[in-house]
Structure 1
Amino acid sequence: MSWRQEYERWHSFASLDKNLRTQLDQIQGDEQSLEDAYYKNLEFGTGGMRGKLGAGTNRMNVYTIRRAAEGLAAYIEEREGQEKGVAIAYDSRYMSKEFAVETAKVLGNHDIQSYVFSSLRPTPELSFAVRYLGAAGGVVITASHNPPEYNGFKVYNGDGGQMPPEEAGTVIKFVDQVENELTVEVADQAELEQSGLLKWIDEDVDQAYLDELKTVNVNSEVTKTVEDFSVVFTPLHGTAKMLVEKGLSQIGLTNVHTVAEQAKPDPEFSTVASPNPEEHQAFEMAINKGKETNADILIATDPDADRLGIAVPDENEEYQVLTGNQTGALLLDYLLSQNKDLPSNGIMIKTIVTSEFGRVIANHYGVTSLDTLTGFKFIGEKIKEYEETDQHTFLFGYEESYGYLVKDFARDKDAVQAAMLSAEVAAYWKSKGKTLLQALEGLYKKHGYFLEDLQSLKMEGISGSQQITAIMDDFRENPLKEAGGLKVESVEDYTSSERTNANGEVETIHLPKANVLKFNLENDCWFCLRPSGTEPKIKFYYGVKTNSRRDSSELLEVVKESVNHKIQHHL
C-alpha cells in the first residue's frame, strides 16, 4: 500500500490508542511528516528495531511493538520454547516499561512464559538473565545512546547473545508475516500475572550477576591496597548505577563518587546533549566532580550500560577522554600481562573496524586474534562456537564503539564488567606511579602509534537513505586507488564477500554478508565505509600507524581528506 493508504488504515481504526490518535491529529495535513511516518514499516533488522516514538508504521509505538513481539512469539513457538520463556528488560526511556509489558502480553497470548524485570536494568544483565534463567530468548527495550525521541526493541537468543544473521532472519520472516499490526491480539496483564505466565524478576538475578562480576577482578589486592585511589562514576541518567556501585564496592573500592545530577533515570537525558560516552561533552559534569575529588579515573556508561567511556588526568591535571580503541588496548594488555598461565588456545576477538593495536598486543603475548563484522552479536556467536568446540578459550572481546566483554557469563558488550576492570587497571598503574595516559604512551612506544578516527554523516528520511546508497555505490564502482598518498593494496566488499587485491586477484571473505567496504592501504593503514544499522547515518572509519604521534596525526588527516573529497558531490 502507499503511505496514504497506510495512513488512512490507521486513521480509520476506531480503537486506535488515544495518545497516538492525538499525535495523528497534530500532523494532519502535514504531508511530509505523514509520508515519513507511513512510507514503510519500521525496519526489523538483525539486531531488532529502533526508531522515533510516535504514530505510524515507521515509528516506535504500541502497535509496532506488538508486531515485533508477534514475530518473536512465532520464532519461540517454532522452537518449542514456550515453557523456557523470554526474559525482558528495559531502560529509562519514554515508554520503555510500557513496551516491555506489551511484549509480555503478546507472548502471553501464545502461552509463552515471560520474565520481566520489575524496574530498569542494563542490557548486559538481560544477556546474563537469559542464560541464568535458561530462557529461550530475551528482549531489551532500549535505544542505547540515541536521542530522547527514540526507543527500540533488541532481541536475544537462548545463548544470551544478539541473534546472528541466520537466526535473526527467521524472526524477521515471522515479523514480516504479521499482516496487520493494529489487530495483533494481546492477553490481559492481570490474568498473566495470576497464571504465572508473567513473572516479575529482580534481586535474585541481580545477586547472581554480582556474584559472577567478582570473577572480572584479576587481582583483588590492587584495588584494596592502593592509597587514595578515587573514582568518579556517571550512569548518564541510565541503568548502570546500582550494579556499578555494588560492583566497585565488591572489589574494595570505597572512594567512589557518583555524579548526583546524572544518577537519576531521566528519559530526557537533561544534563547532556547526548547520553553517549563516546561524546566528550557527556563527561563535563564528571570532569567537574573529578577535579573536586582528585579522581584517578572517570567512568561513564550509556543509558542501557553496554558502552563505557573513561577519562583520566594528564600531566596538567586536565582530564582526557580515551577512545574505545585506546581503552580496549589498555584493558587487553593488562589482562594478558597479569595472566601468568595464558591458555595455548587463547583468543582475542575484535571487529573489522577496531584498531589493529589490539592484534599487535595480542601477538606480543602469543595470543590469537580474530576479526568479526561490526556488531557484538558476531563476537557472542564466536564465543558460543568456541565453547562448543574447545577450539579456543575466549580471553577478551571489544569493538571501537566503546564495547567490551571480559568474562563470557554475559554474551553482549558489558559496561559493568568494563567499569570493574578499568578501575582495577587504573589502580594498578597508580601503584606503579603512572597514570593510564602514561601507560598508554608506553604501549605506543613499544608497538607503534596507532591512531583512529570516526566520521558520521547523518542522512534522515527517504532522501537520506538514497544519498547513503549513492555513496556506497560510488565507492564500489569507482574505488579509490590511493588515499593520503598511500596505495590501496586491497578492497574488501562484504556484500559480495570478496577481497580484491591491487593486482586484480580476488579472494573469498569468510564472514557473513554485510553492506560494508574496507580499503586496506599500505603500511598497515585503512579506511572503511559502513551504513549504520540502527541510525540514519553512514560511518567512515580510519586507522593509521607510524613510529611517532605527530606522523600518525598528520597521516590520519590526509587520508580523511582524500575520502572526504570523494564524497563531497553527494552532499
Structure 2
Amino acid sequence: MTSWEKAYEKWNSFQDLDPALKKELNQMKEDKVALEDAFYTELTFGTGGMRGILGPGRNRMNIYTVRKAVNGLANYIKVNCVNVKDRGVVVAYDSRYMSKEFAVEAAKVLGAYGIKTHVFESLRPTPLLSFAVRYLGTTAGIMITASHNPPEYNGFKVYNEDGGQITPDEADHIVASIQQTENELTVPILEKEVLEEKGLLNWIGNEVDHAYLEQLKQISKMEEQHLQQDKDLQVVFTPLHGTASKLVMEGLKQLNFPNVAIVEEQAKPDPEFSTVDSPNPEEHQAFTMAIEQGKEKGADILLGTDPDADRLGVAVKDEDGVYSVLTGNQLGSLLLDYLLSHIDQDVFKNGKMIKSIVTTELGRAIASSHGAKTVDVLTGFKYIGEKIKQYDATGETFIFGFEESYGYLIRSFVRDKDAIQAAVVACEMADYWKRQGKTLLDALELLYEKHGYYQEGLSSITLKGIEGSRQIEQMMKEMRNNPLSEIAGIKVEKFEDYLTCTRTFTQHEDKKETIELPRENVLKYVLEKDSWVCLRPSGTEPKIKCYYGARGENMEESKQRLEILQTTMNEMMDRILKNC
C-alpha cells in the first residue's frame, strides 16, 4: 500500500472515529482521487498555524488534526513558559463551520495536561484574542479562523504570551513538538463536563470586551469638547457575516458617532457568507450591498471587515458621488498622516512607524515629513508584533504599523492587525476632514501633492502540483543568480536578496550591506525614479507574487510607470517559465 492508503486504512479501521467523520469517509470510499487528497500528506502547520478544507483525513481540518496541533502546543508551552497550568491558554473562534467545536477540542487536549483553558462563550474577533492573551496573562492564545477563505475552510492560529502571532523560530519548535505526536487519533483528552467540574474550562463572558473597549476609547485624537459631541458623519458598516459587529458598533458609539447603519443582511454570522462571492474587504465586490445602502443614506464612509475582523476596507464618495474603495496602501497612508498630525512632536524622538517591505513608500515619506522614523519588516504582521515587543524592552515608541493587505495597528494593546481600531479611527479621521470641507479622497490628493503620486500594484502566477513548485523554484533561482541591472529602462540601484540577507548596490558591486531581517525567499529591486519591484513565492503552494511600486510628479506619470513595470515583469516571468 502507498503511504496515503495506509493513512486512510488507519482512519477507516479506527473503532472510535467521530461518527460524522466516519459517515463522510464512507461516502468517499469509491472516490480514490478525493481520498488521496485527504490523506497523502499532513495538513501543513506554517509560521502562524494551519488552515485547510474541513473533512476527514490527515490533510483536512477536523477534530483530530486540531487535537494533534494542540498536543504539540501543550508540550511546547510546558517547556518554554512558566506557571503554565494556572495561567493557561485562551481560545477564541469566528463564525465558520466547526469553529466552536474546535475551540472546545483545544480545551479537551489542554485539560488532559492539567492546563486551564479560557474559551469565549460566543464568537469573537482575532484582535480581541490577541488582547485577551495580554489581559488574562495566558501562556498562549488560539484563534479558530480561516480569515476570508471560502466557506469550506477553517484554520488554527497560535499566539505567543506577548499576544503576537508566533514567530518563525517559535513555529519551528512547535512544529517539532507536533511531529512527536505519532497518532492524531489517540491524543489524550478530557471531556468538557470533566473539564468544567475540575475548573479547567473557564467560559469568558463580556469582561474582556469591556476592557478592550476602554482601551479603544483612549486611541481617539479628538479634542475633549468635540469628543463629547454627536458627530454628523454618516457611516455604513458591514461585518461580512463575521465577528466585528458588536465591538465596532460599541466603539463608534462611545466616541459619539450616532449615525452608523449596519448592513443587516451581512450582520448575522453566516458560515456560508451567502451574500458575497468572497468575504474579503480587499475585493470590491464585498462592498456591493454597503454601496447600495450608502447611496440610500448618503453615507460619507463605508466600512467593511473580514470575518475575523483583522482587516478593514473603506470606501468613500468621489466628486461624482460614486463610492471608491481605497487600497490598503492608501488607507494606511491616510491613517498614518492623521495620527502623526495629532501627536505631540516629542514622541518622535524615539518613535517608529513599521511597515512591510512590499508596502507603499508613501508611508516613509509621510513619517519623515513629521520627523518619525520608518522600520521595514518582512511581509506578515507577526514581524510588526515582534518589533513592538522589542520596543517594550528598548523604550522606543510604536506609532503605527500597516501592510498593503488591509492590515493596520494603531495602539499596541493588541499585537496583531486590528480592524476594530482601524474602523474607529477611520471614522474619526473622516469626521475631521469633513469638518474641513473635504473627503478622504481630497485628503489623499493633498498627500500626493505634498509627497508625490505613489502607486502600487500586484500580479501573481499560480501553477499546479510538484512541477509547478519546481518551476517557481527555478524562476527564483534564475532571478537570484542573474540579477537585473534595469527594468523597463529604469536602472536598478539596489538588489536585495532576503534569503542571503544581502543588499547589493548595482552601480558599485563591491558595496554590500547586511539586511538585518530573518531569512526569507524574497527578492527586491530598488530602482531609480522612486520605483521598486519585489518577488515573493508562496511557502505553501506553487504561486509567486510580484509587487510593484512607482512614484510620479502626477497621477498619469506614476500610473504609466507602474504599468510598464508590471508589463515588463510579466513578460520576463513568462519567458523564464517557458525555459524551465
Shorter chain as normaliser: what TM range? over 0.9
Aligned-partner Cα distance in 2 for 1:226–1:471? 56
- In the TM superposition, what whole-angstrom CA distance separates every residue of 1:27-79 from its partner, at most 9, and x where no partner exists? 33433333322222111111111111122221111111011000110012112
Map 1:199-238; keep pairs closer than 5 Å: 199-219=202-222, 221-222=225-226, 225=229, 228-238=232-242
Helix, strand or coil: the match of 2:22?
helix
Aligned-partner Cα distance in 1 for 2:65–2:413? 31
Deviation (angstroms), 1:212: 0.6
Larger mean CA deviation between 206-215 and 461-470 belongs to 461-470
Map 1:74-473; keep pairs closer than 5 Å: 74-78=75-79, 79-80=81-82, 81-219=84-222, 221-222=225-226, 225=229, 228-343=232-347, 344-390=349-395, 392-459=396-463, 461-473=465-477
* Change in CA separation of 1:22 and 1:462 when aligned onto 2, cut-off 3 Å: farther
* Change in CA separation of 1:536 and 1:310 when aligned onto 2, cut-off 3 Å: farther
Helix, strand or coil: the match of 2:271?
coil
Aligned-partner Cα distance in 2 for 1:37–1:278? 30
Helix, strand or coil: the match of 2:215?
helix
- In the TM superposition, what whole-angstrom CA distance separates every residue of 1:155-183 from its partner, at most 9, and x where no partner exists? 00111001112222211110121111111
* Change in CA separation of 1:44 and 1:124 when aligned onto 2, cut-off 3 Å: same
Helix, strand or coil: the match of 1:311?
strand
Aligned-partner Cα distance in 2 for 1:338–1:519? 35
Aligned-partner Cα distance in 2 for 1:53–1:504? 51
Aligned to 2:561: 555
- In the TM superposition, what whole-angstrom CA distance separates every residue of 1:409-439 from its partner, at most 9, and x where no partner exists? 1110100000010000000000000000000
Aligned to 1:73: 74
Map 1:37-52; keep pairs closer than 5 Å: 37-52=38-53
Instruction: Report the AA paired with residue 549 of structure 1.
Output: M
Instruction: Report the AA paired with residue 374 of structure 1.
Output: T
The runs of 4+ residues in structure 1 deviating greater than 6 Å are: none
Larger mean CA deviation between 128-137 and 12-21 belongs to 12-21
The size of the alignment, in residue pairs, is 570
Helix, strand or coil: the match of 1:542?
strand
Aligned to 2:516: 510
8 Å contact kept, 1:517–1:530: yes
Aligned to 1:54: 55
* Change in CA separation of 1:534 and 1:215 when aligned onto 2, cut-off 3 Å: farther
Aligned to 2:4: 3
8 Å contact kept, 1:300–1:309: yes
Aligned-partner Cα distance in 2 for 1:549–1:314? 16
TM-score (norm 2): 0.95
- In the TM superposition, what whole-angstrom CA distance separates every residue of 1:216-251 from its partner, at most 9, and x where no partner exists? 111055565576310110000000000000000000
Aligned-partner Cα distance in 1 for 2:173–2:38? 26
* Change in CA separation of 1:443 and 1:389 when aligned onto 2, cut-off 3 Å: same
Helix, strand or coil: the match of 1:353?
coil
Aligned-partner Cα distance in 1 for 2:463–2:488? 26
Aligned-partner Cα distance in 1 for 2:231–2:220? 18
Deviation (angstroms), 1:374: 0.7
Tell me the C-alpha RMSD between the 2 structures. 1.7
- In the TM superposition, what whole-angstrom CA distance separates every residue of 1:295-330 from its partner, at most 9, and x where no partner exists? 111000000000001000000010000001100110
Aligned-partner Cα distance in 1 for 2:459–2:227? 37
Aligned to 2:546: 540
* Change in CA separation of 1:307 and 1:171 when aligned onto 2, cut-off 3 Å: same
Deviation (angstroms), 1:355: 0.5
Structure 1: gaps of 5 or more residues: none
Aligned-partner Cα distance in 2 for 1:108–1:226? 48
Helix, strand or coil: the match of 1:82?
helix
Helix, strand or coil: the match of 1:394?
strand
Aligned-partner Cα distance in 2 for 1:465–1:63? 28
Larger mean CA deviation between 486-495 and 498-507 belongs to 498-507
8 Å contact kept, 1:484–1:560: no
Aligned-partner Cα distance in 2 for 1:225–1:434? 20
Larger mean CA deviation between 80-89 and 481-490 belongs to 481-490
Aligned to 1:567: 573
Deviation (angstroms), 1:542: 1.0
* Change in CA separation of 1:12 and 1:468 when aligned onto 2, cut-off 3 Å: farther
8 Å contact kept, 1:226–1:430: no
- In the TM superposition, what whole-angstrom CA distance separates every residue of 1:453-476 from its partner, at most 9, and x where no partner exists? 122334465454444334333332
Name the % identity.
58
Instruction: Report the AA paired with residue 40 of structure 1.
Output: T
Deviation (angstroms), 1:535: 6.7
Aligned-partner Cα distance in 2 for 1:255–1:224? 15
Instruction: Report the AA paired with residue 57 of structure 2.
Output: G
* Change in CA separation of 1:226 and 1:333 when aligned onto 2, cut-off 3 Å: farther
TM-score (norm 1): 0.96
Aligned-partner Cα distance in 2 for 1:117–1:531? 36
Please tell me whether residue 477 in structure 1 is matched to residue 478 in structure 2: no
